[in-house]
Chains A and B, each alone.
Chain A
Amino acid sequence: MSRFFTTGSDSESESSASGDETAPKAPGGPYSKPLLLSEDEEDTKRVVRSARDKRYEELTNLIRSIRNAMKIRDVSRCLEEFELLGRAWTKAKGVVDREGVPRFYLRILADLEDYLNELWEDKEGKKKMNKNNAKALSSLRQKLRKYNRDYEGQIAAYRQNPEQSDEDEEKSRRDSEGSGSSSGAEDEAGNFLKRRERDEPRSRYKESESEPESESDEDWGDSASESDSESDEDDGKFTSLASKFLKKDEERRGAERRREEKAKKKLERKSRREEEEEEEEGGEWEKVKGGVPLIKEKPKMFAKGTEITVGLVMKKLNEILQARGKKGTDRAAQIELLQHLVAVAHEHQLGVPLELKIKFNIVASLYDYNPNLAAYMKAELWQRCLGCIEELLELLFAHPEIFVGENVLEESENLSNPEQPFRVRGCVLTLVERMDEEFTKIMQNTDPHSQEYVEHLKDEARVCGIIARLQRYLQAKGSPEELCRVYLLRVLHTYYKFDYAAARRRAGQVRPGQVRPGQVRPGQVRPEGQEKEDGQEKEEKDAQVKVEEEEKKEEEEEEEEDSEALMERLCRFVYAKDRTDRIRTCAILCHIYHHALHSRWYRARDLMLMSHLQDNIQHADPPVQILYNRTMVQLGICAFRQGLIKDAHNALLDIQSSGRAKELLGQGLLLRSLQERNAEQEKVEKRRQVPFHMHVNLELLECVYLVAAMLLEIPYMAAHEFDARRRMISKQFHHQLRVGERQPLLGPPESMREHVVAASKAMKTGDWRRCHRFVVNEKMNGKVWDLFPEADQVRAMLVRKIQEESLRTYLFTYSSVYDSISMETLAAMFELELPTVHGIISKMIINEELMASLDQPTATVMMHRTEPTATQNLALQLAEKLGNLVENNERVLDQRQGAYGGYFRDQKDGGYRKGDGYLRRGGFRQERGNY
C-alpha cells in the first residue's frame, strides 16, 4: 500500500515539474499524502477510501500513459493502454456506480476521440505512419467509438461545459470527503493543492495564449512537430479551463472546432498552393504569405493614386527579378506577380516594348519553375508557356519596328522613348529553343502508350507552328547564325515525318485520272495510323495529328512546299551559312534521314559519302552520334526497300552487330549492372533518349537486317561449304541459326526471328516457296512489312530476291549431282523468266562460283564437275594440315641444329638450307627472323 502511495506522490511531483497537467487533478494523487499522515488514526475509513482511491489511481496512471503515448504519436501503445483502461474501469465500476462517472475519465475519452479524429483526418501523416500504428489507429478508433456510445450523453455534457463538470465533481468529491471524514488536515491539503493548481494554469495560459500567434506566423512546418505543439497547446487550454480563473469561454468552446479546422486546412494546404498559382487577379495578393518576405511587401507596389510610369514598372520588375533564383523564393508567386505586372502595364498603356520585356521574363521564370534539370514541366505550365510565347510572337509581328536582341545592353534598352527606335533585351530564339527542349522532356517523361502521350503529341503542331512563325520573323530580321539555329529547329521537327501528302501527289502524277489525292488521303492514312498504334514508326503514330496539322498548314500557307523541298532549302542554307560544325552536322544527318525515309536512296547515300561523316562521327557528342545512328539505320532500311541488299546489310551491320541497337538509337536503356553505370550517368543517358514518336521500330530493323543477312549468307554458305577458311558475313545471323538449331523441339515459328531462321533453312535446300511463306505471311506482315509505306513493293522485291538467291543456293548445293540441267526447268522451278535465270547463271560462271558452261542451243547448263567431292575435300584439308605439321616439325629440327652451337650457326644454317629444298623455306626464314 505504502509503496503505491509513494510512487503516486513521486510521479506527482515529477509531473508537476514537467508541467503535465493531468497529475495535479488526479484525485488519487492528492489524497495519498494526507492518507499517509492519518493512517494510524483512521483505520476503518482508510479501507473504504482506499478502494476508491486505488481504482482511481489505477485509472489516472493509465490515463497518464495514454497521454504520453498520444504525445509521441504512438497509437499502438494508446490502444494497449486504452484496453487496460477499459478493464480497470470495469473493476472500478462499483465505485463509479456510487459516485458517478468521474470527470477525468470523461476528459480522456473526449480527448482521445478528438485526437484520433485528427489523426484519421491527416491523410499524409497516416501514410507516413508505420504499419502497426496505422492498424492500431483504425482499431482504436472503432473501439473508442463503440465505447463512447455508452457515455455519449455525459461526454456531450462535458464538452458543453467542461469546467462545470469539473467543479461538480470536485464539489461532490469534497462532499463525499466531508461526509466521509472531517479531518481538517485533509481539507487543508486539498486546498493547498488547489491553490497550486490555480497558480500553475495561469502561467501556462500565458504560454498558450502566445502560442497561437506564433503559430500563425510560422510557415507550416512538418506536420509532426506541428501537431505536437498543437496538442500541447490544447492540453494547456484544458488545464486552464479546469481552473476557475479562466475567462475565455469562447476560445475554450472553440477549441475542438479549431482543431478540426486546422486539420482541414492542412489538407487544403497543397491544393491551395496550386490554386494560388492559377489565381489571376491582383486582389489575391494578400493571400500570398509565409516564407516570402519580398512578396509580402508587394501588395503595396502600386500605391493607390500613384501615377504608374514606365520607370516605376521597370523598378518593380527589377525588384521581382532580383528575388529570382534565391532560396525561398516562391516561383509560382513570382510568375503571378509578373503576370499582374503585364496586366498593369497593358492597362496603363505603357507601350508594347515594356510588355514585351515583361513577357520575356515571364517565359523565363516559367522555365525556371523547375529547379531540377531532369524534371519536366507540368501540363498547365506548359500550356501557359506555349501561350505566352505565342503572344510574344504576335506582339513581335505586330510591331516589327521594335528591335529585340540578346546583345542589347540593359543600359541601352529603350522602352519608352518613341523618338528613338525601341530596343529590348531578350532573345526569342533562345526561348523557343528552350521550349523545344521542354517539349522533348515532356515527351520523354510521358508513358508512350498512354492517351496522355497522344494529348501531348498534339502540342507538337503548336510547337511546329511557333517555330515556323519564329522562322518567318527571323528571316526578316535575324542574323545568319540565328537563322541557322531556327532552321535547325525546323529541320529537327520535320526530318522524321513521312510526307504522305507529297507521296500521294507524286502517285497522283504517275497515275493521272485517279481520284483526287485530297479525297483519298484521309481514308488512306487514317486506318494505317490506327492499325499500327504500337508501331514505333513515327509517322504512323501521329498520322492523325499530322493530318490535322497539314490541313491547317495548307490553309495557312498556300505556298507550303513539300517537306522535301523545305528540307532542301533549309539545309542548303545551313550548309552555306553555318559556322558551328554541330548545326551543319545535324542538318546533314537530318537531310539524309529525310531522303532515306522517302526512298531517295542515291541522294541519301551520296550525301552521306560526300559529308565524310563516317570518318569523324566518333568525335561528336552523344546526341549527334545517336542522330547519326538513326540516320544509318534509316539508310539501311531505305536500301532494303530499294532491293539493295548488300548496302542495307552494310549500313545496318554496325548497329546490329553490337546487340545494343536500343541503346545506340537512344530508344531505351540497357539493363546493366550498377557497377558499370551510376545514378548520375543513368540520368544523363535518360536525357538523351529520343521521344517515342520518333523511334525507329527495332523489330523492323532487326528483321530487315536478318533478312538481308539471310539473302547474302545462305548462298555464300552453300558456295563455300567445304572451305575451311570460310568467313561469316553476319555473326548475328549465324547466332540466330545456332539458337534455332539448339532447340530440341521445333514447332512452327512464332517470333520474327524464328520465322527468319525457318526461312533460312528452307532456302538452304533451295525451297523458295517455303522460304517465301516464312518470310511473307500474315504474322510477318503484321509485325514488320506493313510498317513500310510502300509495303507491297517491298514484298514484291522480297519475293524476287528470295527466288534469285534460292536459285543460286540450289545450284551451289546440288550442282555436283547434275551433269547438265535445263535452264527452262530451273526457270519453272523458281518461277523466274528465262533471261533472268540465264543472267544469274552467267554471272555465277563468270565469277567462277559455278564450274559450268552454257549450252546455248539447248539452253542447258553443263556442269564441269571440277569441284571436289566431300571426301576429296576432306583429303585436301588433311593434306593442308599435314603440311602445317611438317612445317612445325621442321622448326623443331631447325631449332635443334641451331642450338648445337651459336658460333657456327650461320654457317650451319646456310649448309642446311642448301641441302634442303623445301618449298616453304623462304617464308620460313623470314619468320625465323622474329625469334
Chain B
Amino acid sequence: MASRKEGSGAAGGGFGAAKGKGKAAAAGDSAVKQVQIDGLVVLKIIKHYQEEGQGNEVVQGVLLGLVVDDRLEITNCFPFPQHTEDDADFDEVQYQMEMMRSLRHVNIDHLHVGWYQSTYYGSFVTRALLDSQFSYQHAIEESVVLIYDPIKTAQGSLSLKAYRLTPKLMEVCKEKDFSPEALKKANIAYENMFEEVPIVIKNSYLINVMLWELEKKSAVADRHELLSLASSNHLGKSLQLLMDRVDEMSQDIVKYNTYLRNVSKQQQQKHQYQQRRQQENIQRQSRGEPPLPEEDINKLFKPPQPPPRMESLLIAGQINTYCQNIKEFNAQNLGKLFMAQALQDYNN
C-alpha cells in the first residue's frame, strides 16, 4: 500500500521492452497468463486521461477485479486524485480504502488487482514504476500494471498494455542488491525484466448488441486519422526522447567504466603490495627474523563502491521500448506512404 503512494507521486513510467512473442513463453511460469479487461475499465481510463492528463503529465489509478484460474479479470477501476501542493496531508491509503469500501457497497468487485497509468510517447520504464509494481506484486501476486498510451490512441489505434515483473526480477528486487554481480548471477537483462501479458477486452453481450446498434446509427464512421500521412512530428519527438535516453546510457557507461578502472588499478596495487611483502619476508627469513604479520588486505584497500546497475537496465529497457515504438510506427507509416503512392499512380 505504501508503495502505491510512491508510484502515484512519481512521473509515471514502467517497463515496455518485454513484449515480443518470445515473452509469451517467459510468461508461462507466472501466475497470470491472460488479462481480461472490461470495456468499462478501458473507457474509464481514457476518460480519466482526457479529463486530467495533459502533455507529459501522467494519470494513475487503481484496478479492481478478480482472478479466475490463470486469468486476471479487471472489471472496474478508479483514479487517484491529482496531487496538488495545498493538500499535502491528503491520505491516499485512506482514500483507496474508502473508495473500495464504497464500491463494495454497490456490489462491485473490490479485489485490488493492480494499477494503471498513462504514458507519454511510451516513456514509462522508470524506477518509480518498478518500485511500485514490485510492491504490488509483493503484496498481491497477480497484480498487473496497465499502460495506456493516449497519443497512439488518439491516432486511431487503442494502445493498452499489461505488464508484470518477471519472477527473476522479483527475486532481485526482494534482495535489493543491484550490484553488477548480483544482476549477473540472477541472469537479468533488459529483455527479461518485464513480461507483457496478453490482453482481451470483453464486453457483455448486451453491450455488444448496443454497439452494433450504435454503429449502424452513427454517421461518422470514417476514421481518417488512421490514414494521416503527417508523421514527422511524432517521429521527431520519439527520436528526441530516444536521444536523451542514449545520453543517459552513455553517462552510465562512463561511470561504470570508471569503476572498472578503479578496480583494476586497485587490483594492481594489491598485487604489488603482496609481492613486496613476500620479498621482504623472504629477506627476513634469510636474516633469521620472524616474518611480518599478515594484515587484512581488504582493510588496506577498500574496494570501490560498485555503481548500481539497475538504472542502466531500466534505460536499456526504455530504449528498447522506444525502438519498438519507432519501428512499429515507421512500419505503419511506410505502409501508408506506399498506399498513398499507389493511389497516386492509380489516379494518374
Contacts and interface: CB of A to CB of B under 8 A. Distances in A.
Contacts of A892: 253, 256-257, 260
A895 B264 contact: yes
B32 interface: no
Interface string A867-892: 00111001101100110110011011
B217 to A, nearest CB: 41
Given A875-B239, A895-B261, A881 B254 contact: no
A904 to B, nearest CB: 14
B232 A882 contact: no
A895 B260 CA distance: 7
A871 B242 CA distance: 13
B250 A885 contact: yes
B240 interface: yes
A859 interface: no
Contacts of B247: 881
Contact of A889 (B243, B253, B264): B253
Interface string B307-318: 000000000000
Interface string B215-237: 00000000000000000100110
A283 interface: no
A725 interface: no
Given A870-B232, A871-B232, A888-B253, A878 B246 contact: yes
Contacts of B271: 902
B263 interface: yes
A59 B254 CA distance: 96
B267 interface: yes
B307 to A, nearest CB: 12
Contacts of A878: 239, 242-243, 246
A899 interface: yes
Contacts of B254: 888
Contact of A871 (B235, B243, B264, B268): B235
B183 interface: no
A877 B241 CA distance: 12
Contacts of A899: 260, 263-264, 267
A881 B261 contact: no
A891 B259 CA distance: 12
Contacts of A870: 232, 236
B242 A891 contact: no
Interface residues of B, number: 22
For chain A, give the interface size range: 20 to 34
Interface in B70-116: none
B249 interface: yes
A874 B235 CA distance: 10
A898 interface: yes
Contacts of B246: 878, 881-882, 885
A891 B260 CA distance: 10
Interface string A574-591: 000000000000000000
A891 B257 contact: yes
A871 B250 contact: no
A931 B261 CA distance: 8
Contacts of B236: 870-871, 874
Contacts of B242: 878
Interface string A669-707: 000000000000000000000000000000000000000
A884 B257 CA distance: 14
A233 to B, nearest CB: 76
Contacts of B260: 892, 895-896, 899
Given A884-B250, A892-B256, A899-B267, A874 B261 contact: no
A747 B267 CA distance: 65
Best-surrounded residue of A877, A881, A898 (most CB of chain B within 10 A): A881
A878 B260 CA distance: 27
A874 B256 contact: no
A334 B50 CA distance: 93
A241 B167 CA distance: 117
Interface of A: 869-871, 874-875, 877-878, 881-882, 884-885, 888-889, 891-892, 895-896, 898-899, 902, 931
24 contacts: A869-B232, A870-B232, A870-B236, A871-B232, A871-B239, A874-B240, A874-B243, A878-B239, A878-B242, A881-B243, A881-B250, A882-B246, A884-B250, A885-B246, A888-B250, A888-B254, A889-B253, A892-B257, A892-B260, A895-B261, A899-B260, A899-B263, A902-B268, A902-B271
Interface of B: 232, 235-236, 239-240, 242-243, 246-247, 249-250, 253-254, 256-257, 260-261, 263-264, 267-268, 271
